[in-house]
Amino acid sequence: MIRGVRGATTVKKNTEEQIVSSTKRLLEKMIRENDIFPEQVSHIWFTVTDDLDAAFPAKATRLIEGWQFVPVMCAREIPVPESLPLCIRVMLTAETKVMQENVNHVYLNDAVSLRPDLELTKRKDSR
């Protein structure tokens, strides 16, 4: 079955180092929490809020060993008034046998406020 795995994180500043390192940390956690291998992945979509333009978050994918052939794309998030600033969102689409309700979506830093209903956002290491 094809499943979407969601994730989001925030950065403190609009710098290439923060965008890439925070995205890499998020991706690695999404991969680990869902036991995903690059061969299972159809593609990954990244979106950023309007206040982030120092780097493409997709660059982080290329820093993870074995993930350099996964198709990636970046886009701007819809600029909804009063939405969470400095936010990077991810939609990873992969083949998995995991039931939809058992997919572990990962929200880190201030992005935990986006989905407080998800159990993973309540873990201590989400911050």
Residue type, 46: F
CB 107 within 8 A of CB 9: yes
Binding residues for prephenate: 6, 89, 107
d(CA 126, CA 42): 26
Distance of CA 39 to the CA centre of its chain: 18
Task: Give the catalytic positions in this structure.
Answer: 6, 62, 74, 77, 89, 107, 115
What distances in angstroms separate CA 65 from CA 24, 56, 87, 90, 96, one per listed residue?
11, 18, 25, 19, 20
Secondary structure (3-state) at 43: strand
